[in-house]
Chain A
Amino acid sequence: MTARLLAGLAAAALLPALLALLPVLHLAPNRLVTGAPVMASDALGAWLWPVVALAALGPALLVAGRGRASATLAGLACLTALALLLLGLGTGAAELIADKPPATRARLASGAWIGLIILAGVSALAAGRTRLPGAGFTAAAALAAVVAGLWRIGSLDALSLAVELRIRSDSLGAALRAHLALTFGALGLAACITGGLALCRRGRGAVDLAVSGVQVVPAVALLGGLVAAISALLAAAPALRGYGISALGSGPALLGIAAYLLLPLWRGQEAARRATGPDKVDAARALGLTAGQILTTIRLPLGAPLLVGGLRVAVVQALGLATLGALVGAGGLGTLVFDGMAQFAPDLILLGALPIIVLALAAEGALGSLEAALRRRWPR
């Protein structure tokens, strides 16, 4: 009991201590320099104490309490604290840059980022602890609604990231579309190859060796090697250019990304194939089921969670690898990240990086819960 209480007190102290020690904003004269740190007490104004109180309450309840009620309360406290923290940061930033030259930027600093990540993480943990169906999804939707609502009423406009977003909203949209096109294009390509390989009855060992061998090759090297190989091919046979083949662009990116997706898809497919033992197939055949019926009533239900598991790993990997597509001129969110790195502009890097992280987390969460739901639906 005492240990639980002490742990709860420690959890309560974490976020207030963080807000007291680390700066929440950086006030910089332009978008390329770091600027001067601003502490929470100066930035948040009247929002400081509600945020501190809720940020202490939420984690403490989650650690010290047990049961659904305390978990629900903890989740709500964290979500409210997160909303108020964002609101306070937005208002504080607007006040800080109000009488400054237009190039002045108020950028979220380490304290704000760590605080927001911890609050979001604790909300997710609390949602899991409630053990209610769809709690995780509700928490994620509430989080998205909070950010979208604050964005809509304009309370985040003064933050540097929002300024950068307004400047780049067109290129961000295009980059996002290109990123998704790369991801799903590569996924489709890899799925077709895996499907084709799965039909072969022989040489499974060789396929296994080849797809694991690809994983050893670093992604940057594979992409560079593909570009070099296609250039050499085009130099040897210039007529191929007529067919729209070029050494740079989405071609090498799609091939390179798809090569890495073969392993998770192949492993998932193999595990799903093995999930149905010969005894089950024999029993079904003895009952007079046709091959098609065996596939739909026995093989698919037993293998579905494993297939989705492979797909989940592949989608998350594809979203990350598509970032490197920008290196070979295939576009995607990597363009923003690499532009930001070249200009040393932190907000531009974040503008590219945040959507990648959000997409990957969303894919992981959605396909992970689909996998769990399939397992519950057809227990082995």
Chain B
Amino acid sequence: MRPVPPALGPLLLGSVLAAASHPAVATRLGGGSAQHPLATGRLVALALNHLVLAATGLAIVAVLGIGLGLIATRPRFAAFRPGIDSLAALAQAVPPVVVVALALPVLGFGGPPTLLALVAYGIMPTLRGTVGALDAVTAEARESAQALGLTPAQILASIELPLAAAGLVDTLRTALVLAVSVAAVGALAGASTLGTPIVAGLQNQNIVAMLQGALATASLAFLGDAVLLALGARLRRA
């Protein structure tokens, strides 16, 4: 019997949640008939917006976080390691909704404050995760590569990165969950994402639209997680 792929759970959960956010299903779940569900087209447009915003943020966070993590793990920069850890803890102390709120007067309404909050909140965990993943590569592996005469760049490309790949994918999963979550919070700053029907629904008591937004946001997070889990499983096999 083949083992169950790890991505199956989130994939199924995400699909069920997506199906439940369909106007017909959500109206039934919401209980009332006097409600105004969001049309499918509008929901899809919001989801696409959400996805673009989260993916842009994730790309920036991944490039900066993993890049800085690679730099921080080079022996030359070992002195900065304790600083990075405390900075990461401090950065996590400022919640994303507060970053969105503080960026609002500076950057105006919409996507930019959300993107800033996403990068500000996501970069330190990604950096820390990258450092952790690269630290998990054993010294023996590095030393034997050195003994074979590989240059530091070759060691990084052919030993460290492949061995740390699984850990890096886990780091990206955390970053992705953060990105989807912060993009939803961005609705408070006027970004039009799946958080918008939730925030609007809370204000004008539109329970069904709120439920649709909540289910679709959760579905997006689980589906994204499934994609990265599948990627991680494939990397582990290779």
Contact = CB atoms under 8 A, between A and B. Distances in A.
A346 interface: yes
Interface of A: 34, 110, 125, 128, 209, 213, 215-225, 227-229, 231-232, 235-236, 248, 316, 319-321, 323-324, 327-328, 334, 337-338, 340-341, 344, 346, 349-350, 352-353, 356-357, 360-361, 363-364, 368
Name B's interface SS: helix
Contact of A353 (B93, B98, B214): B98
A273 B104 CA distance: 44
B92 A316 contact: yes
A224 B98 contact: no
Interface size class of B (residues with CB under 8 A): 35 or more
B10 A216 contact: yes
Contacts of B211: 224-225, 228-229
B158 to A, nearest CB: 32
A228 B93 contact: no
B181 A218 contact: yes
Nearest to A34: B105
Contacts, number: 142
A357 B90 CA distance: 10
Contact of A221 (B189, B208, B217): B217
Contacts of B213: 221, 224
Given A221-B184, A225-B211, A320-B95, A341 B101 contact: yes
A93 B222 CA distance: 51
Interface stretch (B26-34, B39-47, B126-134, B148-156): B26-34
B172 interface: no
B94 interface: yes
Given A328-B202, A353-B98, A216 B225 contact: yes
A316 B214 CA distance: 24
B203 to A, nearest CB: 9
Q: Which of A217, A320, A349 has the most CB of B within 10 A?
A: A217
A221 B89 contact: no
Contacts of A364: 89-90, 93
Interface in B162-180: 177, 180
Nearest to A233: B31
Contacts of A213: 13
A224 B214 contact: yes
A277 to B, nearest CB: 23
Contacts of A360: 93-95
